Amino acid sequence: MADKIAVVNGGAGGIGQAVVKRLARAGYAIYILDSNQQAGQATVDQLRQEDCQAEYRAVELRNGAEIKSVFAAIERDTERIDLLVNLAGGTLHKHPIQEFPLAEWREVIDVNLKATFLCCQAVCQPMRQRRTGVIINTSSNFGITGGAGRTAYAAAKAAVIAFTKSLAVEMAPHGVRVNAIAPGLTATARVRRGYSDTQWSQLGERIPMGRAADPSEIAEGVAFLASEESGYITGQTLHVNGGMIFN
Amino acid sequence: MARLVSQIAIVTGAGQGIGRAIALGMAREGAKIVVADLNATTAIAVQEEIVAGGGTALAVQTDISDEESVRATVAMALQEFGRLDILVNNAGIFPTSPVEEMKEQEWDRVIGTNLVGTFLCSKSVAPQMLAQRSGRIISLTSGRAFHGAKHGAHYAASKAGIIGFSKSLALELAPSGITVNVICPGITDTAQPRGHQTEEQIYAQGQRIPLGRIGQPEDLVGPAIFLASDAAGFITGQTILANGGGIMW
């Protein structure tokens, strides 16, 4: 049994897969929460082939009761969650404001912001009781710059930053650190599919370092925030974006 | 696994406090350290400490506010080690005066050391890093850059200047694969705050910090090594606040 337990919400996504691999290498046993059952199970199988401990739990991010019971079950089995990484989310819907259906706008906020809140809430009490724990939420460069068509996503990701700061203040007296990571353009399969080759290289040219991030580079940032090396860092947002925007 | 094996790092102000901790920490990760400090005695002491721990170090007396001195230090580093991978701009001074009474000379000395010194050191290592097409520049700012400093207007200005400077330098050097970032400590348990605060005042501040204590020099070592390592290769132009949540940005 690994001596540290990490729950990675969205652990089967493009960035998620890189994060769980990196955390497994750092000695965590991984619980992957993901709505995509096929990808979730495949990621777990891959980790197990590399002799890492991994479990998959299906979770529907808009179902608060389900989130609660999934975390309660993990807590019951492991009696410890050392690390929670909330990666699940995404732009989901892009529309000009005048055409943005309320239901879709709400979905973006629910999946990116509310699910982060619910997952944090689920681990806060046990982490507080054990007086140790690390939480890492995911913002985005869009949370700082905004983006046309992304009023919902940018609002949710900006909100994640303020939520993270508030939770950091609440949890600091109990030995729990809460930070956010803000990836810039990242070369996951899903993101890459959204652009033609020409568009993709043009996007890269607008980034000071001249290219998109590899998912493994986001994973390194997560690993740093999870580690003792960042033991005096809380309430902060780590931007991994090749200089696309500066904090 | 050591993360900075055979990397050459210049750490300014490495004779004491945060600079010393970063120098020792990077040496533990396998880096060879140029221990640059205005005070030759403390620089030599840290060099000996690194060597005693099985590392490699070169003490050089350096006045970062003096271009000739900085050039000479970089030249000595290159002569000794042949390359340059990391610059840590840590050296700085923090005298205090109310603005009304602040002498222009004191203003010039603080800006000239903290901000211009950071510029001079960065400028002097840039040609070698550009030739190598690799390098890491890490500068230390302060919480004072964000919330100001009563009786320390020059210091706060110099430290905020370091952030603006670093972002600009990040843009200039990114195409060559060189990253430029900033680390922001909060109040740290070193000699510096003792110049103008009592022990009681220093420790009382810990209660107002979310993580419940003031910083230790060691708290800055992990962030510095991270920014210098391969793991942070896509991070540039950023400021990492390692301050117990004292300021969240």
Q: Is the pLDDT confidence value at A111 over 90?
A: yes
Q: Is B163 helix (H, G, I), strand (E, B) or coil?
A: helix
CB-CB under 8 Å, B223 with A228: no
pLDDT band at B195 (very low <50, low <70, confident <90, very high): confident
* Tokens encoding B236: 């540039």
Contacts of B210 in chain A (CB under 8 A): 168-169, 172-173, 234-235
Contact B231, A220 (CB under 8 A): yes
Query: Which of A214, A224, A234 is the closest to B231 by Cβ?
Result: A224
What is the interface size between A and B, counted as CB pairs within 8 Å? 105
pLDDT value of residue A181: 98
Contact assignment for A220 to B237 by CB distance below 8 Å: no
Which residues in chain A belong to E strands, given as ranges? 4-9, 28-34, 54-58, 83-86, 133-138, 176-183, 237-240
pLDDT of residue A167: 94
Window 135-194 of B, Cβ < 8 Å to A = 167, 170-171, 174-175, 177
Residue B226 CA to its chain's centroid (Å): 14
Residue A193, exposed/middle/buried by CB under 10 A (0-12, 13-18, 19+)? exposed
For chain B, percent of residues with pLDDT exceeding 90: 93
Burial (CB < 10 A; 0-12, 13-18, 19+), residue A129, is: exposed
CB distance A243 to B174 below 8 Å: yes
Does the predicted TM-score (pTM) go above 0.80? yes
Q: What percent of chain B has pLDDT over 70?
A: 100
Q: What is the pLDDT confidence band of residue B196, given thresholds at 50, 70 and 90?
A: confident
Chain centre distance of CA A150: 18
What pLDDT is recorded for position A15?
98
**Which residues lie closer than 8 Å to B105 by C-beta, 6 or more apart?**
none
Distances (CA, A) of A219 to A45, A215, B249: 19, 6, 21
d(CA B178, CA B175) in angstroms, rounded, equals 8
The Cα diameter of chain A in Å comes to 53
SS3 content of chain B, % helix, strand, coil (to 5): 50, 15, 30
A208, A234, A238: residue with CB nearest B210: A234
Segment A212-223, tens digit of pLDDT: 999 999 999 999
If you average pLDDT over residues A76-94, what whole number do you get?
96
Give the pLDDT band (50/70/90) at residue A1: low
Contact of B239 with chain A, judged by CB distance below 8 Å, is answered with yes
Q: How does pLDDT run across A23-79, given as a tens digit for each residue?
A: 999 999 999 999 999 999 999 999 999 999 999 999 999 999 999 999 999 999 999
Q: Please, which pLDDT band fits residue A132 given cuts at 50, 70 and 90? A: very high
Amino acid code (one letter) for A112:
N
- On chain A, the residues whose CB falls within 8 A of the CB of B170 are 208, 243, 246
Mutation test of the interface with chain A: which of B181, B248, B249, choosing the one with the most A Cβ atoms within 10 A?
B248
Task: Give catalytic residue positions of B.
Answer: 155
Instruction: Name residue B153's amino acid.
Output: A
CATH number of this structure's domain A4-240, picked from the four choices 1.10.10.1400, 3.40.50.720, 3.30.70.360, 3.40.50.970? 3.40.50.720
The string of pLDDT tens digits covering residues B148-178 is 988 999 999 999 999 999 999 999 999 999 9
Confidence of residue A98 (pLDDT cuts 50, 70, 90): confident
- What is the per-residue pLDDT across B77-125, written as a single tens digit (0 to 9) for each? 999 999 999 999 999 999 999 988 999 999 999 999 999 999 999 999 9
Tell me the Ramachandran region of residue A234: left when phi exceeds 0, alpha when psi lies from -120 to 50, beta otherwise.
Answer: beta
On average, the pLDDT of chain A sits at 95
| Contact at CB, A230 and B226, closer than 8 angstroms | yes
Identify from B133, B211, B239 which residue to disrupt to test chain A contact, counting A C-beta atoms within 10 A and taking the largest count.
B211
A28 carries an active-site annotation: no
* Residue A99, burial from CB neighbour count under 10 angstroms (0-12, 13-18, 19+): exposed
Decide if B249 touches A, using CB distance below 8 A: yes
Q: How far is B69 from chain A (nearest CA, A)?
A: 31
The dihedral region occupied by B30, where left means phi > 0, alpha psi between -120 and 50, and beta the remainder, is: left
Chain B residues with CB-CB distance to A209 below 8 A: 174-175, 177, 234, 236
Residue of B nearest to A215 (CA): B234
Of B170, B215, B225, the CB nearest to A232: B215
Q: In the structure encoding, which two tokens stand for residue A79, read together? A: 């009696």
Is residue A101 within 8 angstroms of chain B, CB to CB? no
CA distances from A237 to A139, A152, B178 (A): 8, 20, 22
Domains observed in chain B: 8-242 (3.40.50.720)
* Cβ-count burial B146-176 (b if 16+ within 10 Å, e if not): beebeebbbbbbbbbbbbebbbebbeebbee
Cα A79 to Cα A123: distance, rounded to the nearest angstrom: 11
pLDDT tens profile B31-71:
999 999 999 999 999 999 999 999 999 999 999 999 999 99
CA dihedral B101, B106, B107, B109 (to 10 degrees): -170
Best mutation site among A176, A209, A214, A227 for testing chain B: the one with the most B CBs within 10 Å? A209
If contacts are CB pairs under 8 Å, which of residues 215-234 in chain A contact chain B? Answer: 217, 220-221, 223-224, 227-234
Contacts of B242 in chain A (CB under 8 A): 230, 232-233
Nearest to B211 among A165, A234, A243 (CB): A234
Nearest to A68 by CA among A108, A106, A125: A125
A84-103 mean pLDDT? 94
pLDDT given at position B63: 98
B219 touches chain A (CB under 8 A): yes
Kindly state whether B240 is in contact with chain A, defined as any CB-CB distance less than 8 angstroms: yes
